[in-house]
């Protein structure tokens, strides 16, 4: 069994990564896929205005949106799927999940902005690539049919 972490922000890039993941012959089957979505922490003192329950509900709703288009792809490929909505900075949460589930590989979409914009804006993919203890396959939308 190949254990895969598949981060999703709900973008077409995440969907492309899921399509690439289930493409025939890429990984040894069966696949156990850990879907991860990190809802950003609310800065300041959110507890003064919102309950933890409300923030958790928002995180779960955001994860539902992020996972919605990917579930059918994984189901059609007969993957075992575990969903992990979490709260926090995406890259560290993804790396935490890699370690927690003892993943063999990470497959994630990248917006492909290039080095200059990534340096300015930051890149979740670049930070995961730098910190991951396992191989990371970065997929752009152009890769999805490769």
pLDDT per residue as tens digits for the range 22-49: 999 999 999 999 999 999 877 666 666 7
pTM for this entry: 0.88
Q: What is the rounded distance in angstroms from the CA atom of residue 2 to the CA atom of residue 137? A: 14
How close are the terminal C-alpha atoms of the chain, in Å? 24
Closest CA to 70 of 30, 125, 17, 111: 17
- Name the strand (E) or helix (H) holding 85: strand 80-87
Give the tens place of pLDDT for each residue, 8-23: 999 999 999 999 999 9
Map out the domains of the chain with their CATH numbers. Answer: 2-145 (3.40.50.620)
């Amino acid at each position: 069994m190949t254990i895969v972490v598949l981060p999703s922000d709900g973008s077409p890039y995440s969907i492309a990564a899921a399509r690439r993941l289930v493409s025939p012959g890429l990984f040894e089957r069966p696949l156990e896929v850990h879907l991860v979505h990190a809802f950003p922490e609310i800065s300041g003192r959110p507890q003064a205005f919102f309950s933890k329950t409300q923030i958790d509900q928002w995180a779960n709703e955001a994860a539902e949106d992020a996972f919605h288009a990917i579930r059918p792809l994984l189901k059609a490929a007969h993957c075992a799927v575990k969903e992990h909505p979490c709260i926090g900075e995406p890259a560290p949460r993804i790396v935490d999940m890699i370690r927690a589930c003892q993943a063999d590989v990470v497959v994630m979409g990248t917006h492909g902005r290039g080095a200059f914009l990534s340096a300015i804006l930051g890149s979740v993919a670049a930070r995961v690539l730098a910190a991951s203890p396992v191989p990371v396959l970065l997929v752009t939308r152009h890769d999805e049919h490769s």
